[in-house]
């Protein structure tokens, strides 16, 4: 792996059934920066992201060829070779989706869900972590009085910041973002962009975006995908 | 009959009449049963019908054992079928790859169409002898054999309703759990079960209705003894089986009239299940509306 990089992809091809989505692709993403993946719809940007946390395995009939290596805890891990547990990987490689996906439960429970699933059951610890990620996501002042209300009552932008907070609560080293602002209005977009810039210190961000202005505003580097190949 | 010129037989009125007719027919059935069972609505009604001894030759017409037999079989079969169906639905929705899942789903669908008498046959020739040997007492025709068989009969209904309500869970919710490192158990606990609460209740109530109304299985494998059900291996008689048995032998006697009381009890039981289902579903969608997300 080239020094400074946290993800290294070599000769990656991806198939949904007989359809080829990624075509013998090689690239890498640097650590503690925002790396953008751009390109037209259907070019395989989101698919590329899901090869890094192996979320593609949730899709029936999907198949992958090639090498994906990630650097976690300063250890180089080959996702297709090593026996890293899926849960372990996904706790270290968080993901935020295009459409905010809070679960139908309270704000507080949404945030403690990853902790509970990871076996962190200490109530005080949970409370502290929730407050910290909400502070980090600039959401604390807005929701501290209503942590027990349904997360789906938040505005779109708030929901997305909640989802980012939820993804950050297990302190991942890599955060995958699949067009995190495309469903939001302008004001919410700039809030999220500020948030992402702040997160650079703590983890490496890989963001799919089709908004080239946004890429110019916040990304440190970018790669462009067209029809499953790098341009 | 359908006429656009505005006569009373316009399409709308016609459909309204048909609907009202169906509604009235259902009420008429109740009225019919009350009317035919009328000689029994006498002062000593409760002595007659709520006693636990059925001995028509001594003029004792206690149908309480049949009410208890019905309840025991329905509840036991639900207890067996519910975890089975839930597991099956999870298998179809989460655990199996697409092709085997589809195959299993098709089989379950097919099972809903098998006449209950077939299950009865299979029960008599396979299950009953097995239970007879296993329990080493009685004929094998028992509360347990009927409940097991009935569980098999009502499971497909439940599985189909469960699968349907699991499928309605938004994929983004499942993705959220998966992307946070959740496994199948987490998906079940945090998304499927809470999201499909209404569907699960609907499936349970529909299955309970089916179990309550089924006649053939109890008639064939429960043994039809007139005593109170005292153990899993006891021979019991359900209300439906009682109706079938008496009807086959008689047509005008006090004994015969008791089947109308049985009919009324079954009718009311089904009615309560249906109304519960209504109330439950309405509350479910109201709660969603209040959250602003229906």
Q: Min CA distance, A168 vs chain B (Å)?
A: 10
Number of DSSP helices (H) and strands (E) in chain B, helices first: 14, 2
CA distance B248 to A151: 61
More confident residue, A121 or B287: A121
Q: Check CB contact of B294 with chain A, cutoff 8 Å.
A: no
Q: Is the pLDDT of residue A177 over 70?
A: yes
Structure token pair of residue B83: 């975890």
pLDDT for position B217: 92
- Count chain A–chain B contacts defined by CB atoms under 8 A: 72
pLDDT of residue A137: 87
> Which CATH number does the domain housing residue A162 bear?
3.40.50.300
State the best of A96, A102, A103 to mutate against chain B, taking most chain B CBs within 10 Å: A103
> Closest Cα partner for B111 from B215, B210, B212?
B210
> pLDDT tens across A106-120, in order?
999 999 999 999 998
The closest alpha carbon to B261, from B23, B52, B26, B66, belongs to B66
Euclidean distance between CA atoms B41 and B32, whole angstroms: 14
CB spacing of B178 vs A58 below 8 angstroms:
yes
Distance CA B38, CA B244 (A): 20
> Are the Cβ atoms of B180 and A94 closer than 8 angstroms?
yes
pLDDT in tens, A78-105: 888 877 888 889 999 999 999 999 999 9
Say what the ipTM of the complex is: 0.90
Domain range for residue A134?
5-230
In chain A, the number of structural domains is 1
DSSP reduced 3-state for B55? strand
Q: Rounded CA gap, A156 and A187, in Å?
A: 11
For every one of its 294 residues, what pLDDT tens digit does chain B have, with 9 covering 90 and above?
444 555 556 778 889 999 999 999 989 999 988 888 777 776 566 666 677 888 888 877 888 899 999 999 999 999 999 999 999 999 999 889 889 999 999 999 999 989 999 999 999 999 999 988 888 777 888 999 999 999 999 999 999 999 999 999 999 999 999 999 998 899 999 999 998 988 999 999 999 999 999 999 999 998 888 888 888 888 899 999 999 998 888 777 878 888 888 899 999 999 999 898 888 777 766 655 554 443
Signed CA dihedral, B293, B283, B16, B270: sign only: positive
Residue B1: the pLDDT is 46
> Rounded CA gap, B118 and B162, in Å?
25
Is residue A84 within 8 Å of residue A77, measured between CB atoms?
Answer: yes
Side-chain-facing half-sphere of A33: CA atoms under 13 Å: 16
User: Coil, strand, or helix at residue A77?
Assistant: strand
The label of the residue with tokens 């975006």 reads A209
Find residue A43's DSSP bridge partners: none
DSSP state of A100: -
B96 touching chain A per CB within 8 A: no
Interchain proximity B291–A152, CB inside 8 Å: yes
Compute the nearest-CA separation of A97 from chain B (Å): 8
Q: What percent of chain A shows pLDDT beyond 70?
A: 100
Cβ atoms of B219 and B244 closer than 8 Å: yes
pTM of the model: 0.83
| CATH 1.10.3720.10 matches B63-293 | yes
- Tens digits of per-residue pLDDT, A194-228? 889 999 888 999 999 988 999 999 999 999 988 88
Question: Helix A156-168 and helix B171-179: axis angle, to 10°?
Answer: 30
Round the average pLDDT of chain A to a whole number and report it: 90
Q: Pairing mode, if any, of strands A174-178 and A204-208?
A: parallel
Give the number of other CB atoms < 10 A from CB of residue B155. 23
Mean per-residue pLDDT for A70-78?
87
Residues 6+ apart with CB under 8 A from A163: A96, A97, A100, A101, A102, B176
The mean-pLDDT minimum among A18-27, A93-102, A158-167, B283-292 falls in B283-292
CB within 8 Å: B181 and A118: yes
Chain B CA closest to residue A49: B179
pLDDT, one tens digit per residue, over A127-142 is 999 999 999 888 999 9
B53 Cβ contact partners less than 8 Å away, ≥ 6 residues apart: B60, B62
| Rounded average pLDDT over A37-55 | 90
């Amino acid at each position: 792996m080239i020094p400074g990089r946290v993800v290294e992809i070599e000769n990656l091809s991806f198939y949904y059934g007989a359809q080829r989505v990624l075509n013998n692709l090689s690239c890498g993403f640097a650590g503690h920066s925002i790396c953008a993946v751009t390109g037209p719809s259907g070019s395989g940007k989101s698919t590329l992201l899901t090869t890094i946390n192996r979320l593609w395995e949730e899709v029936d009939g999907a198949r992958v060829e090639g090498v994906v290596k990630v650097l976690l805890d300063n250890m180089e891990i080959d996702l297709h070779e090593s026996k890293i547990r899926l849960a372990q990987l996904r706790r270290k490689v968080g993901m935020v989706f295009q459409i905010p996906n809070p679960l139908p439960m309270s704000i507080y429970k949404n945030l403690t869900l990853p902790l509970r699933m990871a076996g962190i059951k200490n109530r005080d610890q949970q409370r502290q972590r929730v407050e910290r990620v909400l502070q980090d996501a600039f959401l604390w002042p807005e929701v501290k009085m209503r942590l027990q209300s349904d997360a789906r009552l938040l505005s779109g932008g708030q929901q997305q910041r909640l989802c980012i907070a939820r993804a950050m609560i297990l302190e991942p080293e890599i955060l995958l973002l699949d067009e995190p602002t495309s469903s939001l209005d302008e004001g919410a977009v700039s809030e999220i962009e500020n948030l992402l810039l702040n997160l650079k210190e703590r983890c490496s961000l890989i963001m799919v975006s089709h908004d080239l202005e946004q890429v110019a505003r916040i990304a440190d580097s970018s790669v462009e995908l067209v029809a499953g190949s790098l341009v | 009959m359908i006429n656009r010129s505005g006569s009373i037989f316009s399409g709308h009125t016609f459909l309204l009449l048909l609907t009202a007719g169906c509604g009235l027919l259902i009420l008429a059935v109740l009225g019919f049963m009350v009317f035919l069972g009328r000689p029994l609505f006498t002062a000593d009604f409760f002595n007659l019908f709520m006693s636990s001894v059925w001995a028509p030759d001594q003029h004792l017409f206690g149908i309480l054992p049949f009410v208890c037999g019905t309840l025991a079989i329905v509840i036991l079969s639900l207890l067996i079928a519910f975890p089975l169906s839930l597991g099956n639905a999870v298998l179809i929705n989460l655990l199996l790859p697409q092709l085997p899942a589809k195959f299993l789903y098709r089989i379950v669908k097919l099972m809903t169409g098998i006449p209950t008498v077939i299950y009865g046959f299979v029960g008599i020739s396979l299950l009953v002898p097995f239970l007879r040997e296993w329990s080493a007492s009685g004929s094998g025709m028992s509360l347990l054999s009927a409940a097991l068989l009935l569980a098999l009969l009502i499971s497909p209904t439940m599985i189909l309703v469960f699968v349907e309500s699991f499928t309605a869970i938004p994929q983004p919710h499942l993705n959220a759990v998966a992307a946070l490192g959740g496994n199948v158990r987490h998906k079940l606990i945090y998304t499927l079960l809470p999201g499909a609460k209404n569907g699960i209740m609907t499936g349970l109530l529909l299955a309970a209705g089916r179990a309550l109304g089924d006649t053939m299985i109890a008639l064939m494998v429960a043994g039809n003894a007139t005593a109170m059900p005292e153990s899993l291996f006891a021979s019991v008689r359900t209300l439906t089986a009682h109706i079938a048995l008496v009807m086959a032998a008689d047509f005008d006697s006090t004994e015969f009239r008791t089947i109308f009381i049985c009919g009324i009890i079954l009718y009311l039981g089904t009615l309560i299940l249906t109304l519960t289902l209504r109330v439950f579903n309405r509350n479910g969608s109201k709660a969603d509306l209040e959250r602003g997300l229906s």
